[in-house]
Structure 1
Amino acid sequence: MAEKPEESQSTPPVSSPPSSPAPEEPYSIFDKRQKALIILVVSTAATFSGFASNIYFPALPTIAHDLDVSVELVNLTVTSYLVSQGLAPSLWGPISDVRGRRVAYCCTFLVFLAACVGLAEAKNYATLIVLRCLQSTGSASTIAIGSGVIGDITTRAERGGFMGIFQAGLLVPVAVGPVIGGALAGSLGWRAIFWFLTIYSGVFLIFLIILLPETLRSIVANGSRTPSNPIASFPLRIYQKTTKVQWNPTATSSQPAERKRIDVTGPLRILISKHASPIIVFLAIYYAVWQMSITAMSSLFEERYGLTDTQIGLTFIANGAGSMIGTLITGKVLDIDYRRVKAQHESRSTHSDVEQSNSLDQHATNPEDSFPLEKARLRLVPVFSSVQCLSILLFGWTIQYPDRVHIAVPIVSTFITGWTAVSTQSVVMTYLVDIFSDRSAAASASLNLARCLFAAGGTSFIMPMISSIGVGLAFTVCVIVQVIAMLGVVIQWKFAPKWRREVEGVEEDKTQG
C-alpha cells in the first residue's frame, strides 16, 4: 500500500484523449416482455394467500357440522389465519430483502405445501386451527415478496401500473376462490379444497423455480450482476442474454454484492415510524371492515336467504370482480397522476433554477426531497374511502331485511366495497414501496402486519356483535370508526413530507459518518 504513491511520483503522467462520458446504466436491464413475465409469476404466487383464505369461506358451515363445533369456533380459524398472515411476512419479508427473493419464495411454498397436505387429512378442530396458522405462514408472505420484486425492477413512474396488475392478480382468488371452494365442498367435501391447493402449489413451485430470476438489487444490482450462487444465478443468465435493453456487462460485475443483515424488526419499525404509521393504521381499519363483511357473508346469506354452499360461493364473485377491476383502473390512474405531478414539479424546478441532476426515477440513490409524493399518490384515497363507507352501510342495512330487499342489492354492495377497498390498498402499498424503496418487502410486510392484525380482531367479534345489535347497527358502528380513521390520511398529507425529509437527512448523516 505504501509503494503506490512512490510509483506514481516516479512515473510521468501519460496524456490521453478526453473520453466521452459512459452511457447511464438503466434502472433495470429487464425489458418490457421480461418484466411482464416476472409480474405474471409474482402475481400468480400472490394468489395463494387469497386462495387459501377465500376458498375456505363457503365451507365454514359444513366444516362446523362435520367437526361437530360451532360456527363461531370455525370463524376463529379465520381469525387465527389472519394473525399468522400478519406476523409471517415480518420474518419472510426481511429475509427476502437480504437473502434474495427466490430463496424466500421456495421456503414459503414448501411450508404451504406441507400444511395443505395436513389440512386435507385433519380429523379434529385442534389440528385444523394449528395447520391453518402454518398454512398462513407459508402463503401470506408471497404478497410482501412480490411487492419487493416490483420495487426491484420498476421506477416510480411505471410502478403504479405494475402494482395495479400485481394487486389484480392476487385478488383473482377473491372472485373465483369462493366459487371453487363452494363447488368442491358441495360435491367432494371440504377436504377436497386442501387437496386442490396442494396440487396447485406443487405445480406452481416448479414453474417459479424455472421462470423467476433473482431481482434483489443488493445481490444482482439492476440485473446485470450475476451472483455465484447457482440458486440466484438461474435463470438470471438467460434473462441477461435475451433482454433488449442496452446495458454494460462490466458496469457492476466487478462490484461486490452489498452485504446486509436480516432485520426481523424492520417491518415493526416501519409500522411505528411517524412518516408511515398514520396511513398504515388508516388502511388497516378499512381492510378490517372489508374482511369483517366478507367473513359475515357466508353465515348471513345461509341464515337469511337459505343459500347452499355452492350458491354462497357464487355470491363472492361480485366482491372479487370489483376488487380486480378497481385495482387495474387505479394502477393506470396512479401512473397518470404521477407523471402529471412530476411534470408540474419539474417545470417549477426549472423556473426556480433547481439543479437537474437529481433524477426522480433514481430515487433509490438520489432522493428528491421536495417532490410532492403524497400529492402524486394519495389524493384519490378520500374518494375511495368515502364510497367504501357508503357501500358498507348499504350492505348492513339491506341484509338486515331479507324479506323486503332482494339479495341482488347486498351482492352489488360487495362489488362496490371490493372495488374501493382494494383500490385504496393499491394506492397505499405503492406509496410505501416508493418511500421505502430499499426495504420494499419489509414495507409491504409492515402494512400486512397491521391490516391482518386489525382484521383478525374484527372478524373475531363481528358475528357476536351482529347477534347482539343487528347487522345494520353493527356495520354502522364500523363505518363510524372508518370515518374517524380518515384523520390518518389528513396527518399523512400535511406532515409526512417534512417527516420524510428529516429521516432522509439522518440516514445521510449516518452514511457519511
Structure 2
Amino acid sequence: MEDQRQESQESQEPTTSGYKLPPWRKWLILFIVSWMTLVVTFSSTSLLPAAPNIASDLATTSEAIDITNAGVLLAMGFSSVLWSPVADLFGRRTAYNAAIFVLLVCTVGAALAVDMAMFTVFRILGGFTGTFFMVAGQTILADIFEPLVRGTAVGCFMVGSVSGPAIGPCIGGIIVTFAHWRIIFWLQVGMTALGLSLSLLFVPTIQQSKTGKETPSSVLAMFNPMRILRQMIYPNVLFAYLTCGLLAFFQYAILTSARSIFNPRFHLSTALVSGLFYLAPGSGFLVGSVVGGRLSDRAVRKWILRRNGVRLPQDRLNSGLLTLFLVLPVATLIFGWTLEEEVGGMPVPIISAFFAGVGLMGSFNGLNTYAAGTSIILLLLLSMLILMLLLEVRPHQRSEVIAGKYIVQYIFGAASSAAVVPMIDSIGVGLTFTIGGFLSLSLSLSLSRC
C-alpha cells in the first residue's frame, strides 16, 4: 500500500528542467523571490507608525488610513485571481516581471499622492500585485528545488514574507521621526526597482505560456475565481486554509495593536521607540522560518529512512508539533496576560513576542508546502505546518492551492487589522489573544481528523 502511495506521489510530482540549474543560480533566484515578498509585505505595515502624519497631510483621519491598509490587505489576498491567469497566458516570468513593474508605478503614484483619493487608489492597485509574488515565488521554488531540500528553500523564502510586516513599522517609525513620511514610499520604490532588475536578469523561463491554444471562453474561464475557491471542497485543504487564516489574524493582531498597547502601558511617546518593539516578533519570524524549514526537510528524510525509501507528503507535519502545541500557545498566553495584568515589565512581553513569532512561523512552514505535491489524502497527524505542505498535495494545481490559502489568510489579516484594537478595548488584551490561540489549536485538531 505504501509503495502504491509512493508511486502515485512520484507520478504527480512534475518534472522540470529547473532541477538542473546550477546551485548558485538557484540560490540567487531564491533571494530574488524572497526579496519581492519582503517588498510587498514591508509596504503593508511600514505606514502604521506614520498614520497620523499621513492623515494630517491628506486632510483625513488615522482611522481612514487604517481602513485603507485593510483594503490593501484584501487586495493582496485576491491578487492571484488576476495575475495567475496572466502567468498561464503569457508565461510566469513575463507575468512576474509585469507585476513588479505595476507595483513600482503604483508605489511612485502613492509617494506623489496629493489627496486621500489618489493615495487610496494607488495603494490598493499596488496591493493587487501582492500575493502573486508569494504564489509565483513558491511555485518557482517548487520547480527548481528537489523535494528533499525544498523545505529549507521555502523556509528561507519565507524570511522575506515574514520579516516585512515586522521590520516595516520599525523602519517606518525611524523615517517618520526624522524625515517626511513620503520617504517611506521612495524607499519602497528603490527596493522594487532592485527586485525588477534582478528578476529581469536571473529568473528563468521554466513554465511556458499557453498563448495560441486558448479560445475566448477558455481565457475568460482562467479568470474565474472558482478554479481557486473550489480547492476548499477538500476538508483538509479547507481546514489548512482556516488555520493559516487564524495564524495570520494572530500575526496582524500583534503588529497592528502593538502601538496602542505598548504606548500607554509603558508611557512611550514617539513612533521611534514603539517601532523598535516590532524587532522582537520579527526576529522570531525569521528564526521560526529558517529553523522550521530545516526541521521540515529533516523530518522528511527521517521518515524516508524508516519506510525504506518511501516518501509521503504528510511526513512534514511531524516537524511542527512542538512549535504548534507548546511554543506558540505558551508564548501567546504569556504575552497577553502579562500585558493585561501589568506584570513583568517590558522584557517579558518582548521575549514572549519573540517566541510567539518562532512558534507561529515554525507552525506555518510545513503546512504551506503540503497542499501542492500529492493527491488529497487523509491526514492522521496533528499539526499546523502550512507553507511546505500546500506545495505537495496537489502538484498540478500548485498555484491554485497556494492562491486560495493567501486569499483566506489575507482576509483574516485585514479583519485583524480593522478589529483587533476595538476587540482589545472591549474584552482586554489577555482574553483577545487567548481566544485567538484557542481557535487556532481547535482548527488544527479538526485538520488532523479530516
Instruction: State the match for 1:263 in structure 2.
Output: 222
| Structure 2 residue 44 is the aligned partner of structure 1 residue 53 | yes
More helix by share: 2
How far apart, CA to CA, are the structure 2 residues paired with 1:149 and 1:439? 13
How far apart, CA to CA, are the structure 1 residues paired with 2:82 and 2:69? 21
Instruction: State the match for 2:12 in structure 1.
Output: none
Closer, same or farther: CA 40–464 of 1 in aligned 2, 3 Å: same
For 1:334, give the aligned amino acid: S
1:156 to 147, 162, 167: 147
Check the 8 A contact 1:59/1:182 in 2, yes or no.
Answer: yes
Q: How does 1:93-492 map to 2 (within 5 A)?
A: 93-97=84-88, 99-216=90-207, 218=208, 263-264=222-223, 265=225, 266-305=227-266, 306-346=268-308, 372-374=312-314, 376-386=315-325, 387-402=327-342, 404-429=343-368, 430-491=388-449
Check the 8 A contact 1:122/1:128 in 2, yes or no.
Answer: yes
- Three-state SS of the structure 1 residue aligned to 2:398 is helix
Residue 36 of structure 1 deviates from its aligned partner by 1.2
For 1:384, give the aligned amino acid: T
Aligned residues: 410
TM-score with structure 1 setting the length:
0.74
Closer, same or farther: CA 69–407 of 1 in aligned 2, 3 Å: farther
Check the 8 A contact 1:45/1:142 in 2, yes or no.
Answer: yes
TM-score with structure 2 setting the length:
0.83
How far apart, CA to CA, are the structure 1 residues paired with 2:352 and 2:410? 23
How far apart, CA to CA, are the structure 2 residues paired with 1:307 and 1:382? 40
For 1:282, give the aligned amino acid: T
How far apart, CA to CA, are the structure 2 residues paired with 1:379 and 1:32? 28
Q: How does 1:58-73 map to 2 (within 5 A)?
A: 58-73=49-64
Residue 258 of structure 1 deviates from its aligned partner by 12
Residue 448 of structure 1 deviates from its aligned partner by 0.6
Check the 8 A contact 1:90/1:446 in 2, yes or no.
Answer: no
Structure 1 gap ranges (5+):
1-23, 220-226, 230-255, 348-359, 361-370, 496-513
How far apart, CA to CA, are the structure 1 residues paired with 2:72 and 2:252? 12
Q: Which structure has the larger Rg over C-alpha atoms?
A: 1
- Three-state SS of the structure 2 residue aligned to 1:380 is helix
Residue 377 of structure 1 deviates from its aligned partner by 1.3
Residue 475 of structure 1 deviates from its aligned partner by 2.1
- Per-residue CA deviations over 1:4-42 (Å, capped at 9, x if unaligned) read xxxxxxxxxxxxxxxxxxxx9977221222211211111
Identity rate, percent: 26
Check the 8 A contact 1:61/1:299 in 2, yes or no.
Answer: no
- Per-residue CA deviations over 1:89-130 (Å, capped at 9, x if unaligned) read 222234335532211212211221122122112233343333
Residue 257 of structure 1 deviates from its aligned partner by 11
Check the 8 A contact 1:97/1:148 in 2, yes or no.
Answer: no
For 2:67, give the aligned amino acid: L
Closer, same or farther: CA 300–380 of 1 in aligned 2, 3 Å: same
How far apart, CA to CA, are the structure 1 residues paired with 2:89 and 2:230? 17
How far apart, CA to CA, are the structure 2 residues paired with 1:98 and 1:147? 19
Instruction: State the match for 2:373 in structure 1.
Output: none
Closer, same or farther: CA 26–205 of 1 in aligned 2, 3 Å: closer
For 1:394, give the aligned amino acid: I
How far apart, CA to CA, are the structure 2 residues paired with 1:38 and 1:273? 32
Closer, same or farther: CA 76–405 of 1 in aligned 2, 3 Å: farther
How far apart, CA to CA, are the structure 1 residues paired with 2:17 and 2:44? 39
How far apart, CA to CA, are the structure 2 residues paired with 1:284 and 1:416? 20
Residue 442 of structure 1 deviates from its aligned partner by 2.4
Structure 2 gap ranges (5+):
1-14, 369-387
User: More displaced, 73-82 or 90-99?
Assistant: 90-99
How far apart, CA to CA, are the structure 2 residues paired with 1:121 and 1:291? 27
- Per-residue CA deviations over 1:239-263 (Å, capped at 9, x if unaligned) read xxxxxxxxxxxxxxxxx99999673
How far apart, CA to CA, are the structure 1 residues paired with 2:54 and 2:322? 39
Check the 8 A contact 1:282/1:488 in 2, yes or no.
Answer: no
